[in-house]
Amino acid sequence: MTVDYMTIAVSLLLLPPLMAGGLSLLITSSRRLHLTNLISIGTLIAAEVAITRTVLAQGSVTAFGEIVYIDALSSVILFIIGTVGLACSLYMRSYMDDQVARGVIAPNRLNLFFFLFHMFILAMVVATVANSLGVQWVAIEATTLATTFLIAFWRRRESLEAGWKYLILCSVGISLALFGVVLMYYSSLRVLGDVSSALNITQLQQVAAQLDPHILKLAFVFLFVGYGTKVGLVPMHSWLPDAYTEAPAPVAAMLAGVLETVAVYAILRSRAIVDQAVSPEFTGGLLALFGLVSFALAAFFILLQHNYKRLFAYSSIEHMGLAMIGFGVGGAIGNFGGLFHLVNHAFAKSLAFFAAGNIHRRFKTVEIDQVHGLVTVLPWSALALMIAGLALAALPPFALFASEMQIITALGTSGLPGEWLQSGPRIPVIILLFCSLVAFAGVLSRITSMVWGVPPKDVPEGEQWSVGHIPIILLGAVLLGFCWVLPTPLRQLLDTASAMLVNR
């Protein structure tokens, strides 16, 4: 592949959301807004596929004078951004138009929603392909600005409160991450002596072993806590239940399925550099410890939920914690399981929030006790909720069961990393299995109570087919199919990315 070809491919990755965002401010027609959105996300996916093919053939690619750097790990995240972004775009066709028809939002505010949505996608793509830890930080901060307005989009008191809470907590977290980036810059500048490239990932990978390990330890702690706030790890998770409850359904799907994953990617990028100067036991111990605590606490909080959107929020904390355990334990199985779990969780959580959006529009409540008889009222959404719920509960034959078993296998083989965490693999595995059963019981009992039973008399029955049902069917099929057959290109991509994490 020539440099020119790659420059064009990367341009088609970055320009569509930027141009679509600008056009959205000028377009007033709902139909044209949706068409622009689909063209943008379709072009992005085509560019991502072309880049991934090159990455699988060459190992990594750069563009624009090494401003852009993409390897297998970046491609996995781009795959999640593109796939979930397309699913949300298809779902928005009926969801947003229905909100306009019901008078929830004014027609002249629809273009503002699409502008923010495109900027959100653009910021996540930039954070994934940037060859600079500084640019990556700026892009993740940009996601905070875009999503704050999206969370508060309904302009209710509760949504405004959730938006402010999200903005304040994530800004504090991202400020801590900035301090970590500054420490990385300080350490690398002493070795490289080049101000312009002191934060470049490609440069840092080459000289990482020469960096000051004491400074890198401190830098990673700040980066981990800062980006961990975006991931929703305990105890930095308090913004997450309110934000997921108040955000529009497609926004909640992007937050849970994509933004958290991009934040995990930022942590893994920094860790790959730090591990060359510091023992991987240090970084792995932090990831595994916070992951295990997040998984355990979220499992028990699931038992206390009476709001189905908050239920899915704590489910996100649980699954992000499980993925962090996989990355913390490491090895071929642990890293592959962690990456595969990120993919599966993104699909399952998107499906869950699509179902939740349909339920909320029909029942006009988020209380679990007030929703019954979904199988009669909304049969397609009831099926989607059951598939998403069973998948999130890691019940076979769903794909999340396969990735969770891989992580448990890695934990059972190696135990928790770090001398201060060494207690043998038996105790952590027992904790993990017990908390998995708790979460399974909590999710399943609430999902089944909503699907079955007698529906309220004032709720109309029947569900008309729409474009929004296409992503529901496709995501459900993927969650079932990935447990049995993983497409060869995706398997190669996950294998390459996990091997890269192991080697570093």
Token pair for residue 60?
A: 């990594």
pLDDT of residue 59: 85
pLDDT of residue 458: 83
Does the structure show a pLDDT above 60 at 2?
Answer: no
Question: How large is the average pLDDT for residues 104-122?
Answer: 91
- 326: confidence class by pLDDT, cuts 50, 70, 90: very high
> In the numeric block, which tokens belong to residue 30?
């709902």
Task: Determine the pLDDT at residue 1.
Answer: 43
Average pLDDT (23-42) is 92
Distance CA 76, CA 24 (A): 28
pLDDT value at 438 more than 80: yes
What mean pLDDT value characterizes the chain? Answer: 90
CA atoms 162, 164, 169, 170: torsion sign: positive
pLDDT of residue 422: 58
Rounded distance, CA 53 to CA 421, Å?
40
pLDDT confidence tier of residue 32, bands split at 50, 70 and 90 = very high
DSSP state letter for 59: S
**Residues 29-57, mean pLDDT to the nearest whole number:** 93
- At 367, give phi and psi (nearest 5°): -80, 130
Q: What is the pLDDT of residues 195-226, one digit of tens each?
A: 777 889 988 988 888 888 999 999 999 999 99
Higher pLDDT, 232 or 417: 232
Q: What is the pLDDT of residue 418?
A: 65
- With cut-offs at 50, 70 and 90, classify the pLDDT of residue 467: confident
Tell me how crowded residue 424 is: count the other CB atoms within 10 A of its CB.
Answer: 9
Asked if pLDDT for residue 431 goes beyond 60, the answer is: yes
Helix (H, G, I), strand (E, B) or coil at 214: helix
